[in-house]
Structure 1
Amino acid sequence: MNVPVQRIAILGAESSGKSTLAEALALRYGTVWVPEYLREFVDTRGRVPFESDQYPIACMQLEREKEAAARACGFLFCDTTPLMTALYSRQYWGRVDPQLARLDRVHDYARTFVTAPDSPWEPDGLQRESEEVRQKVHGMLIATLEARGISYVLLEGGLEERVARVGELLK
């Protein structure tokens, strides 16, 4: 009997520990995780995305989720969702492409965890901008989740604390 996979959204601003947490949770639960496609995009193209890249990036993220769900066991930890892509579009271009906005509105994850920007900000080549942007995007994320009525848990502290907190909630 196939048990449905619960997709878990891990959201947060740049340099807030999403990838580290998603990987640690996948290891703890013996399943897989979906890395943030944006990182691969930036690494392979040697540039940050243009506005026209945002929708295809979100589509590829969802495609990777779909592929990983077939291999997942119990949980699938998703390092970002189209919601974050839309927030960064709003941050950098002041608007969200209508196609991306449609993807962004569909937030059908079993749980949503938000990584607090409480660790030291670290530059990461082309992908990260500044502590100021990190804090601004975090505020935008919290405001968006609350405005949409999306339940979330804010994860603070180090990796062990975050993994333990998620463990308390995913039983």
Structure 2
Amino acid sequence: MKPLSVAVLGAESTGKSWLSQALASVLRARGQEVHTVDEVLRQWCEREGRTPQRHEQMAIAQQQAQAANPPNHPALNSWLLSDTTPLMTAVYSQLLFEDDSLYPMALAHQALYDITLVTGLDLPWVADGLQRDGPQVRGPVDTLVRQALEKAGMTYRVVYGQGPRRLNNALLALGLAGEDATAQHIREQSQFAINQGRSVWYCNDCSDPGCEHQLFTRLLKQRSAS
């Protein structure tokens, strides 16, 4: 299979970094060359000891885009896995500052990726220093991400599931085979130990956003019946 450029988007504490790193690990174990792009915003917050202000958002988005562009990425012969893109900066700029001026640049960059994965909201929220505001912002951020992609006519796949199942669903969304039982067991005992003992999400076997209507309809029916 030809290497792809993959963007991983999603609200805070939905496992974007974890999924990007897990995918990179699997691909490298399968003999693939992989180039990863880290989240610039996280590095910025750690360096500055605060969250960015409105006037600083565009520079962060531009740095995120540059990190994924040539000459930093040999796109023709390796996978590119980007842990977030400028679109997430644009979403937070709109949510926090009512500033939608970053969208044209962010969406132009987003169009360069072969596939976009959006991490689902089924993981528990975990505090993470300066970057995370709280679980109450996950829903609005998730909505804004999807609205931006859909308005721009960009397709995406939503990835649900706990631990190895989340990774396997992402691999399937990329058109790749999931890990076998032995590989899953090894990973479960190491990288995924934090997820053990937690209940799984309903949509464990699908990475298609088209199925989500059925998912949320089921949840609403259950709540109305209780």
TM-score greater than 0.5 by the shorter chain: yes
- Name 1:91's counterpart in structure 2: 95
Match of 1:13 in 2: 11
Q: Of 145, 151, 156, which residue of structure 2 is paired with 1:152? A: 156
Question: Deviation of residue 32 (structure 1)?
Answer: 2.8
- Per the alignment, residue 38 of structure 1 pairs with 41
Aligned pair in 2 of structure 1 residues 164, 68: CA closer, same or farther (>3 Å)? farther
The answer on whether the counterparts of 1:115 and 1:155 sit within 8 Å (CA) in structure 2 is yes
- Distance in 1 between residues matched to 2:25 and 2:5, nearest whole Å: 15
Name the aligned partner's letter for residue 115 of structure 2. R
Query: Could you say what secondary structure the match of 1:113 adopts?
Result: strand
Q: CA deviation at 1:105?
A: 2.4
Count of matched residue positions in the alignment of Structure 1 and Structure 2: 167
1:39-61 per-residue CA deviation (whole Å, 9 max, x = no partner) reads: 00000000000111111111111
3-state SS, counterpart of residue 76 of structure 1: strand
Task: State how far apart, in whole Å, the 2-side matches of 1:68 and 1:166 are.
Answer: 25
> Deviation of residue 101 (structure 1)?
2.9
Work out which of the two has the higher radius of gyration on C-alpha atoms and give 1 or 2: 2
Which letter does structure 1 place at the counterpart of 2:94? R
Contact 2:157 2:173 in 1 (8 A): no
- Flag the structure with more relative contact order, 1 or 2, with Cα contacts below 8 A and sequence separation at least 6: 1
- Secondary structure of 1:53's match? helix
Aligned residues: CA RMSD = 2.0
2:84 equivalent to 1:80 = yes
Gaps of 5+ in 2: 29-33, 177-226
Q: What displacement does 1:72 show?
A: 8.7
Alignment TM-score, normalising by the size of structure 1: 0.89
Of residues 60-69 and 10-19 in structure 1, the stretch that sits farther from structure 2 once superposed is 60-69
| Letter aligned with residue 136 of structure 1 | P
Secondary structure in structure 1 of the residue aligned to 2:154: coil
CA distance 1:121–1:73, change in 2 (3 Å): farther
Query: Which residue in 2 is equivalent to 1:51?
Result: 54
Map of 1:105 onto structure 2: 107
Query: Is 1:119 equivalent to 2:117 in the alignment?
Result: no
Alignment partners' CA distance in 2, 1:125 and 1:72: 37
- 8 Å contact from structure 2 (residues 160, 169) kept in 1: no
Find the aligned partners of 1:126 and 1:87 in 2 and give their Cα distance: 17
What is the rounded CA distance, in whole Å, between the counterparts of 1:51 and 1:159 in structure 2? 35
Give how far 1:5 is off.
5.0
What SS does structure 1 have at the residue aligned with 2:142? helix
Give the TM-score, by structure 2 length.
0.69
Identify the residue that residue 20 of structure 2 maps to in structure 1: 22
Aligned-pair CA distance for 1:71: 8.2
Q: Which runs of 5+ in 1 are unaligned?
A: none
Q: Deviations along 1:108-127, whole A, 9 cap, x unmatched?
A: 21000000121110111110
